């Protein structure tokens, strides 16, 4: 049944995406997006709609068909995802068509998080490496709202290269599916539906893209994954799985500190991973595939943390991080020297 959920969502997304591309072109729902790092074509702004329709259709069908058998007491939890997801989708679409002020975006995203709280979602404690927990007590609902705002915006920040955000979301959802198998029975269905919707969409979103997620799609994926990750024992694994988008968010906020690029200036520090790969000479396709591979490795660490313990996962995490740091620096140094040799600068070659 789980495989059927993935196939159905991927097929529906694959069918709907080209239809929506044609509709967006016919009715003028497109623009030349000159702000993105690699946006040089007129691309549809409605990418999130196809994933939304696919996700809601398949999960709603599974919800109704399995009522009383799969769901248990998950009715209100699922309702929270539907209402909150619809809210952030509309916010993202509106922001893409006519820019929404940042304070208003935060308020709407906080409202979506509050809807989850009202539908039974909780983050009662935080788990840290290599062990130990901090009970949040009465601050749990507030932390959940902050978590939703953070992850929702994080996926918007990594939507810088064709196929990057949708691919990272698909891999993250697939990893969360395996971790969620030990939790509430309907949560794996939600994770697979996200993975399937992204997989079908990537057929047209991978470089060179005919459509991109836009704010509507990235907000939707971030919100749904934040809600899934807030379930039961997923929290520790989710923190590892969502490292890449959360790193983008952290570096973006760091770049807005006093003395750095201000809120009114273009802030590109949150592009640093993908930007650095491109500046090293990798093509957009190669850069995205490298980041996919990094995300898969993070997912494997998350599975180790869930199955074998956090201490081992921490060791693997640090080892992979150190290897990647050294690799990037070695490759960058090599390519810099190669560019100097090819340019024929004095003292470098005769």
The model's pLDDT over 163-209, given as tens digits with 9 standing for 90+, comes to 999 999 999 999 999 888 877 778 889 999 999 999 999 999 988 88
Distance CA 161, CA 36 (A): 8
The stretch 128-146 carries a mean pLDDT of: 75
Share of the chain above pLDDT 70, in %: 68
Q: Which residues contact 350 (CB under 8 A, 6 or more apart)?
A: none
Q: 265 φ, ψ to 5°?
A: -105, 160
Kindly indicate the confidence band of residue 132, based on its pLDDT and cuts at 50, 70 and 90: low
Q: Would you say 105 and 248 are in contact if contact means Cβ atoms under 8 Å apart?
A: no
Q: What pLDDT, on a 0 to 100 scale, did the predictor assign at position 319? A: 64
The stretch 267-285 carries a mean pLDDT of: 68
Least reliable range by pLDDT among 30-34, 114-118, 195-199: 30-34
Kindly indicate the confidence band of residue 234, based on its pLDDT and cuts at 50, 70 and 90: low
Taking each helix axis from N to C terminus, what angle separates 243-255 and 164-180, rounded to the nearest 10 degrees?
130
Strands 42-44 and 30-32, bridge-based pairing: antiparallel
In the predicted structure, residue 39 carries a pLDDT above the cut 50:
no
In the predicted structure, residue 131 carries a pLDDT above the cut 70:
no
The stretch 286-314 carries a mean pLDDT of: 76
Q: Which residues contact 73 (CB under 8 A, 6 or more apart)?
A: none
Distance CA 160, CA 150 (A): 17
In the predicted structure, residue 219 carries a pLDDT above the cut 90:
yes
The stretch 151-166 carries a mean pLDDT of: 89
Q: Does residue 96 or residue 71 have the better pLDDT?
A: 96
Q: Where is mean pLDDT largest: 27-31, 61-65, 224-228, 279-283? A: 224-228
Name residue 134's beta-bridge partners.
126
Least reliable range by pLDDT among 3-7, 277-281, 340-344, 345-349: 345-349
Q: Would you say 171 and 249 are in contact if contact means Cβ atoms under 8 Å apart?
A: no
In the predicted structure, residue 134 carries a pLDDT above the cut 80:
no
Q: What pLDDT, on a 0 to 100 scale, did the predictor assign at position 331? A: 66
Q: Does residue 342 or residue 230 have the better pLDDT?
A: 230
The stretch 211-240 carries a mean pLDDT of: 82
Least reliable range by pLDDT among 204-213, 218-227, 337-346: 337-346
Q: What pLDDT, on a 0 to 100 scale, did the predictor assign at position 240? A: 74
Model confidence, pTM: 0.81
In the predicted structure, residue 348 carries a pLDDT above the cut 50:
no
Distance CA 202, CA 169 (A): 11
Q: What pLDDT, on a 0 to 100 scale, did the predictor assign at position 269? A: 40
SS (H, E, C) 147-162: HHHHHHHHHHHCCCCC
SS3 135: strand
Q: What pLDDT, on a 0 to 100 scale, did the predictor assign at position 105? A: 94
Q: What pLDDT, on a 0 to 100 scale, did the predictor assign at position 68? A: 55
Kindly indicate the confidence band of residue 65, based on its pLDDT and cuts at 50, 70 and 90: confident
35-40 own/partner pairs: CB under 8 Å, 24+ apart: 36/159, 36/160, 36/212, 37/160, 37/161, 37/268, 37/271, 37/274, 37/275, 37/278, 38/160, 38/161, 38/162, 38/207, 38/284, 39/212
Distance CA 280, CA 287 (A): 10
Q: Would you say 148 and 128 are in contact if contact means Cβ atoms under 8 Å apart?
A: no
């Amino acid at each position: 049944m789980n495989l059927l959920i993935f196939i159905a969502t991927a097929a529906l997304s694959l069918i709907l995406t080209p239809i929506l591309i044609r509709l967006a072109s016919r009715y003028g729902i497109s623009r030349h997006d000159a702000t993105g790092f690699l946006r040089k074509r007129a691309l549809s702004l409605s990418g999130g709609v196809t994933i939304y329709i696919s996700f809601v259709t398949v999960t709603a069908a599974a919800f109704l068909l399995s009522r009383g058998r799969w769901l248990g007491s998950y009715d209100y939890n699922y309702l929270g995802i539907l209402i909150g997801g619809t809210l952030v989708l509309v916010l993202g679409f509106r922001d893409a068509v006519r820019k929404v002020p940042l304070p208003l975006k935060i308020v709407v995203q906080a409202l979506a998080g509050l809807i989850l709280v009202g539908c039974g979602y909780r983050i009662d404690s935080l788990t840290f490496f290599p062990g130990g927990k901090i009970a949040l007590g009465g601050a749990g609902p507030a932390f959940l709202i902050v978590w939703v705002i953070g992850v929702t915006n994080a996926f918007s920040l990594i939507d810088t290269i064709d196929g990057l955000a949708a691919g990272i979301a698909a891999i993250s959802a697939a990893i969360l599916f395996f971790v969620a198998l030990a939790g509430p029975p309907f949560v794996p269905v939600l994770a697979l539906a996200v993975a399937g919707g992204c997989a079908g969409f990537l057929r047209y979103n991978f470089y060179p893209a005919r459509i991109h997620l836009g704010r509507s799609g990235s907000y939707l994926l971030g919100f749904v994954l934040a809600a899934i990750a807030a379930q039961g024992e997923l929290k520790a694994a989710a923190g590892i799985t969502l490292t890449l988008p959360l790193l983008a968010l952290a570096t973006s906020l760091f770049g807005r500190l006093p003395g750095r690029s201000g809120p009114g200036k273009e802030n590109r520090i949150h592009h640093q991973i993908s930007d650095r790969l491109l500046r090293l000479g990798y093509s957009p396709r190669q850069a995205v595939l490298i980041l996919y591979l990094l995300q898969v490795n993070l997912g494997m660490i998350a599975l180790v943390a869930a199955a074998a313990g956090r201490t081992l996962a921490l060791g693997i995490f640090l080892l992979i991080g150190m290897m990647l740091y050294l690799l990037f620096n070695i490759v960058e140094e090599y390519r810099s020297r190669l560019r100097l040799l090819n340019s024929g600068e004095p003292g470098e070659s005769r």
